[in-house]
Chains A and B, each alone.
Chain A
Amino acid sequence: MSSSTDTIDKLVKNEYKYGWTTEIESETLDAGLNEDVVRFISAKKNEPEFMLEWRLRAFRHWEKMAEPKWPHVHYPPIDFQAISYYSAPKKKEGPKSLDEVDPKLLETYEKLGIPLEEQKMLAGVAVDAVFDSVSVATTFKETLQKAGVVFCPISEAVHSHPELVEKYIGSVVPYTDNFYAALNSAVFSDGSFVWIPKGTRCPMELSTYFRINARNTGQFERTLIICEEGSYVSYLEGCTAPMRDENQLHAAVVELVAHTDAEIKYSTVQNWYPGDEEGRGGIYNFVTKRGLCKGPRSKISWTQVETGSAITWKYPSVILQGDDSIGEFYSVAVTNLKQQADTGTKMVHIGKNTRSTIVSKGISAGRGQNSYRGLVQIHKNATNARNFSQCDSMLIGDQCGAHTFPYIELKNSSAKVEHEATTSKIGEDQIFYCNQRGIETQDAVNMIVNGYCKEVFQQLPMEFAVEAQKLLNVSLEGSVG
């Protein structure tokens, strides 16, 4: 008994490996939020009138809203007036190639194990790196251009493709949707914009590494991905953040639109600073992610591996509007230390023969609290809709919690909805079995946890799967006996 608790303690006391600060001069706005700040952000980006108007409408709406209280998480109140809403690395002139990028930035990426140069050659991955809200390096533009794919910072798309931005921004996540979506709409700094033309299979995996840096800066990315008829894209998002004392707010919005026969695969590996053992510091990750299967036979698939952040509040969702459309959600969420996660998905079945699959694997260790919250909604006309949900929780140690809050709302009798959930711990007998075969406890835990998460990892692109597995091992280092 006692020896196992010791090991658990050891495992739990694992420090964040990506904690440091890059010193780069930032142009940071004073803390506080009002209409002028919104105007300043818009002006700074030289945005067209429609964007400013939209931001202002969002801001006015936000002022009337209250923070959501229903998630199963606890944190001290956030003073939204104490946050600075704009920070951008100072750039001399826009870098044309990697050589022109601030070497310190490149160093930061190297510490994270994402050498741009190498990745460019080896992985064939185009990286649109967001460093504190503003994109600093974009590669592989040419290949993408040839295919007709638009992949650029959204701040750029506002100028280069205003008609697309105007048409789609807020069309899946309107600013009225929730408190953080409204805030994001008012002050979003930057993010990725992807447009895949009709009948095109995007020639490479698109990837963005986010990284939060400047002190006390809330980061508000906005990502918009549109797949025209019959097109396909796989988008990867991953991030780590430096160690901080203050909690940092992160409220991103991601909108996906899949037209007829189009498919979007969106994968996330999230490893932001989780805070220390006492729960100090750490990122507040309040994200709204939603995809719209607009056309018939379209498909949207979310895969996430969430190991970081002090608090995660995130429900990547799919609105299945087109007949025969498909929504998928595969998730691994780890809470260790004093992390809290309230995460899950919404599958809204509107069209006929729509299908959705939910596979959620929660892992709680340390004093972490992990909640799955998911909604499956079958509308009146969603004839023959199908959903299958599998939510498993694993508990490691006796100080953590695992909770499951599924909601099923069904208004069509031809639909079939199945939900299953289990809660288990890593069996002492499983660990002992591995030990007896010569495998150390930590390796045994990693092996068992990775086995448990397999269904989700299989959904990730290869190189991401490897990274995710490593991340999981690191996050659970020292967690079992």
Chain B
Amino acid sequence: MSTVTVKEDQSSSSAYAELFESMSSYFGELTGSEFMQFRQRGLDHFLKSGFPTTRDEDWRFTSLKTLESIKPVWKNTEPDTGAVRQIIDTLPFNDSQFNRMVFIDGQYCESLSTIHDQPEGVDLMPVSAAIRLGLVREEEIGQYTCDSHSNSFVPLNDAFFQDGLFLRAAKGVEVHKPVHVVYLASGLAGNVQFPRQMILMGEQAKATIIEEHRHVSVDGPLFKNAVSEIFLGDQSHLECVKLQLEPESSQHFGSYFIQATKEASFLLHSFDVGAGLSRNSFKAMLNGQNINGVLNGLYITRGKQLSDHHMIVEHNQPSCESHEYFNGILDDKSKAVFHGRIHVDQKGQKTDAKQTNKNILLTDDVVVDTKPQLEIYADDVKCTHGATVGQLDDEAQFYLQARGIPRRQARKMLIHAFASEIVDRIQNELIREQVDRIVWDTLDELPSLK
């Protein structure tokens, strides 16, 4: 095609070039010089491509104008652990039952974290520590984010990544107690954050993780761009719950990459209720036989929120099963975008894949754009997808009212039931209960249900 074209809007890209310079000494401290090349490559890629526009098919319904208007700022300040402590104490997941890792403004806060004794073969620590200990080398990072170039948020994270969960479980080991990872923004360290997670599960290893995104203060815009790389060895099992509870001033981007090998199983739950704009992308590559994967999500939006989910599941080997279930509840003038694609390779015979996206609209001013897609190159497969958009079932509502339940409560019951379809898929009982409570609280706050 044409040679290098000059981006029309250079302001946002060049702002990141400047930011990179200002952060380079911090990066040197954090991950050492050996990662500078990796970072530089990410930066170069991003500077070339910039943020996607609505002209890109994958971003047709999600405009990044507001994001581009944010001038990225980073300050290396000590977090106010006092204020954070208050938040931590109210967190739903008790640190006696969970491992807890707290990251404030992208930096690991050891004093607020609790890591229980782990069996041999489990490495549970921040990514920065894993790098310092030589557990991750430069060529190992970014291995699983392959083919991510359509999504310039990944190279941007490559350039700026700070810290995040590192979990490696050796063959046959089960991680002791679920790991609760909290990413907090204090509002003091500028307006950009780049968490990075690496989860590497050996053969038959098992783990449960909760990833929670919150703010201490709600002032000012924030751009959070997280990347997670997950490798699942043969017959390993991972359950992962993501809670995105950021304030409306935040713009949240999360990219998950999962590579699974034979007979692995995973459940990935996403509860997306915060942020003015959120984009959750998932790419699952099923590279072995008999893998069982579930992507399960709920989004609840209000105000002018936009919640965007984008996922690709690749069936590259025979006899895998994948299910994606995404339910949305939309209030006020909010908007939801769903893009799901099941890709079945010629080798993916006996694939059993199912995808559903259901949306309930609570007002006349919401917008839903949904694209559930199937791309299938093998003949012996069972693939279905379905999407529905509509209001609450009038008949059910009436039925409840006829049994004496007030209208408001009837509506809430039905909507809660709709949300429970997703919540109930969480296997870990402790987590399920807490998530259910968070969902109830969120529903309670919806203007249309008050």
Contacts and interface: CB of A to CB of B under 8 A. Distances in A.
Q: Do A and B bind each other?
A: yes
B391 interface: yes
B400 interface: no
Q: Chain A's interface: helix, strand, loop or mixed, by majority?
A: strand
A408 B373 CA distance: 11
A423 B367 contact: no
A419 B386 contact: yes
Given A406-B372, A410-B389, A398 B364 contact: no
The interface size bin for chain A is 20 to 34
A227 to B, nearest CB: 31
A399 B347 CA distance: 10
B434 interface: no
Nearest to B364: A413
B380 A409 contact: no
Contacts of B390: 415-418
Nearest to A70: B57
Contact of B376 (A401, A406, A409): A401
A397 B381 CA distance: 12
Interface string A349-383: 00000000000000000000000000000000000
Given A395-B376, A418-B386, A405 B391 contact: no
Interface in A208-246: none
B188 interface: no
A138 interface: no
Interface in A298-356: none
A420 interface: yes
A396 interface: yes
A402 B382 contact: no
Nearest to A397: B379
Contact of A408 (B330, B362, B369, B377): B369
A475 B297 CA distance: 43
B363 interface: yes
B381 A408 contact: no
Contacts of B61: 409
B324 to A, nearest CB: 13
Contacts of B376: 393, 395, 401-403, 423
B385 interface: yes
A403 B379 contact: no
A396 B380 CA distance: 9
A414 interface: yes
A415 B379 contact: no
A126 to B, nearest CB: 42
A435 interface: no
Contacts of B57: 70
Interface in A242-272: none
Interface in A421-472: 421-425
Interface string B377-405: 11111111111111100000000000000
Contacts of B366: 413
B369 A396 contact: no
A402 B374 contact: yes
Interface string B326-361: 000010000000000000001001000000000101
Contact of A425 (B367, B374, B381, B386): B381
B367 A410 contact: yes
A425 B373 contact: no
A476 to B, nearest CB: 14
Contact of B382 (A404, A409, A411, A423): A423
A408 B374 contact: no
B61 to A, nearest CB: 8
B371 A408 contact: yes
Interface in B33-85: 57, 61
A432 to B, nearest CB: 15
Which of A403, A407, A423 gathers most chain B CB within 10 Å?
A423
A416 B374 CA distance: 22
Contacts of B388: 416-419
Contacts of B391: 413-414, 416
A399 B389 CA distance: 35
Given A70-B57, A403-B376, A408 B382 contact: no
B379 A396 contact: yes
A400 interface: yes
Contact of B371 (A407, A412, A415, A424): A407
Given A409-B368, A410-B369, A414-B364, 19 more contacts: A395-B379, A395-B380, A396-B379, A398-B349, A398-B378, A403-B376, A408-B387, A410-B367, A410-B368, A410-B389, A411-B367, A412-B364, A413-B361, A413-B363, A416-B390, A417-B388, A417-B389, A417-B390, A425-B380
10 contacts: A398-B346, A404-B385, A408-B369, A413-B363, A413-B365, A419-B386, A419-B387, A421-B372, A421-B386, A423-B383
Interface of B: 57, 61, 330, 346, 349, 359, 361-391
Interface of A: 70, 393, 395-425
